[in-house]
Structure 1
Amino acid sequence: MKHARIAVDGLIHNGVETEAGIKLENGRVVQENDVVWLPPVQPQTVFTLGLNFADHAAELSFKEAPKEPLVFLKGPNTFIGHRGKTYRPSDVTFMHYECELAVVIGKAGKNISKEDAYDYVGGYTVANDYALRDYLENYYRPNLRVKNRDTCTPIGPWFVDKEDVEDPMNLKLRTLVNGEVVQEGTTADMIFSVPDLIEYLSSFMTLNKGDIILTGTPKGSVDTKVGDEVITEVEGVGRLVNTIVGEEADIKQ
């Protein structure tokens, strides 16, 4: 089942996807364009993977793939929902999207084996993890400003129950900018799989319900400009729409 968090008439609701539209808890059915989309889950600790696709690492001139996951954390204010607007600072010369499968932890656990990893997954959503490349100092220790700007991680639209995703390690990823396909890949090409990542992270810290793992992106980095519509898609999980806005927009940094 696909679940959403949306605002309708100033109130926050949970809803599910139906053929007629989004059905709220009270039975009311609303349409996609008549609501404000929120992140489908309220993020707790968020782990983001760097260089987790070999082709993307090669695109960035890395000759060898990482020997262990390159992980950094995200603050909650970076997240916005489907059809949200992402602010592009005026001093940035290269700001690119990153289409990613987001894994949502469903229950707490520590020292989780790869064999048991999926027992701790609640479901999945789509993330677009924008990178402001100008601020990057070191790929192995990413500067906070690269990945923690307000509004720079659209996520959603749906939280999809894990039972409805047959094989998370065989999903197509795709990004379109203004209708043109600029990025394509598959989760099958991850260097560290979803079970690998859960085993690694839980080996030294407890994973809690609501934690999210952004699993990395394939090659295809293109600079985005003010006014661009960026769509990131993960097969069977969702189609996330986002627009880039500039300084004239009423968005605080």
Structure 2
Amino acid sequence: MKLLRLGAKGAERPAILHSDGTYRDISSVVVDIAGDALGAAGLARIAAADIASLPVLPQTSRIGACVGKVGKFICIGLNYADHAAETGADLPKEPIIFMKATSAIIGPNDDVRIPRNSKKTDWEVELGVVIGKEASYVDEADAMDYVAGYCVVNDLSEREFQAERSGQWVKGKSADTFGPIGPYLVTRDEVEDPQNLPMWLEVDGHRYQDGSTKTMIFGVQHLVSYLSQFMSLQPGDIITTGTPPGVGMGQKPEPVYLKEGQTIHLGIEGLGEQSQKTIAWNA
């Protein structure tokens, strides 16, 4: 299933992409794409509904973040061997974990605001993993049972804030609008192999990233198990799993960073596409 949330920010309605290409309102089935709706029983309830009989929502509706009430936005750094190489970093021996503020979350096609005093706002197409049930000290062999599905994430970053201003990466990752997710939460049963998904990102029509999840150092199964050793994972938590090469700071001979008035277009095979305009902070 491809689940999404439609409507004005803060007033989104849960929906599903029907086989006829329409968006169907599933608010009579689940309250939101959040919490218990992401567990096995909630997803089974949606799957059993007579989707064809449900109201059609306008195709022109704003698409919101595909998951509501996200508790934790957990990020994995330097998790692609080819991306680590472009940054000159050694391959990590264990996953590098940092957090992104949930206030950064926006819809997949909402505007991205360049922060005040930003000089190095960058892009990162990433595979997002959405947790479906509480996970704590999970064995790797069982880890996929805790995954509700997957989504596209643009892990926007301000590199000066991240690397040159002291402290942890979180302050370079957490500006408002720095977390577009969606358009869809694609349920786990529809993704045959999360470690073989082509992914790409363009800025103003120029393709900078053209990679695949197959070059991830630590795969989805390992990450879910690993994280659960340090914190419980709750339904609706999102793990964004790292980016392939082609980020702005890795461009040669000089880095390339985002500025106002540009268009970012990105996608992952089978999970949909995003398109954002960059605007000034006060626009």
Same-fold call, TM cutoff 0.5: yes
For residues 9 and 79 of structure 2, the distance between their equivalents in structure 1, rounded to whole angstroms, comes to 41
Partner of 1:246: 280
**What is the letter of the counterpart of residue 226 of structure 1?**
E
Aligned to 2:32: none
TM-score, normalised with respect to structure 2: 0.82
1:102-141 map, 5 Å: 102-137=128-163
Deviations 1:214-245 (A, max 9, x none): 00001101222211111121111111111111
Q: Percent identity?
A: 36
Q: Does 2:259 match 1:225?
A: yes
Rounded to whole Å, the distance in 1 between the matches of 2:193 and 2:142 is 15
Deviation of 1:11 after TM superposition, in Å, equals: 4.5
Q: Distance in 2 between matches of 1:220 and 1:51?
A: 13
| Kept after mapping to 1: 8 A contact 2:115/2:175 | no
| Preserved contact between residue 20 and residue 29 of structure 1 (Cα < 8 Å) | no
- Structure number with the higher helix fraction is 2
1:93 Cα shift?
1.9
Please tell me whether residue 169 in structure 1 is matched to residue 195 in structure 2.
yes
Amino acid at match of 2:56: V
Equivalent residue, structure 2, for 1:2 = 2
CA distance in 2, matches of 1:139, 1:98: 20
**Corresponding position of 2:42:** none
**Counterpart residue number, 1:53:** 80
Deviates more, 1:227-236 or 1:166-175: 227-236
Q: After the TM superposition, which residues 72-87 of structure 1 pair with which residues of structure 2 at under 5 Å, given as runs?
A: 72-87=98-113
CA RMSD of aligned residues (A): 2.1
Shift of 1:10: 8.7
Equivalent residue for 2:173, pick from 136, 147, 154: 147
Closer, same or farther: CA 139–201 of 1 in aligned 2, 3 Å: farther
Q: Rate the CA distance shift 1:37–1:60 in 2: closer, same or farther, 3 A.
A: same
SS in 2 for 1:38: coil
Deviations 1:160-206, CA, capped at 9 Å, x for gaps: 11000010011011001122211011111001111111111111221
- Matching residue of 2:115: 89
Aligned to 1:23: 24
Please tell me whether the aligned partners of residues 56 and 217 of structure 1 are also in contact (alpha carbons under 8 angstroms): yes
Aligned mates of 1:12, 1:47 — CA distance in 2: 23
- Please tell me the residue identity of whatever aligns with 1:207: L
140 and 14 in structure 1: CA distance in 2 versus 1, 3 angstrom threshold: same
Structure 1 residues 140 and 118: CA distance shift in structure 2, 3 A: farther
**1:141 Cα shift?**
6.0
Given the superposition, is the C-alpha separation of residues 65 and 140 from structure 1 closer, same or farther in structure 2, using an over 3 Å criterion? farther
Q: Kindly tell me: are residues 247 and 41 of structure 1, through their superposed partners in 2, closer, same or farther at Cα, counting changes over 3 Å?
A: closer
CA deviation string 1:48-83 (max 9, x = no partner) = 011011111111121x20111110112211000021
Contact 1:50 1:139 (8 Å CA) reproduced: no
SS of the aligned residue for 2:7 comes to strand
One-letter identity of the residue aligned with 1:58: A
Size of the alignment, in residue pairs?
Answer: 247
Unaligned runs of 5+ in 2: 29-53, 249-256
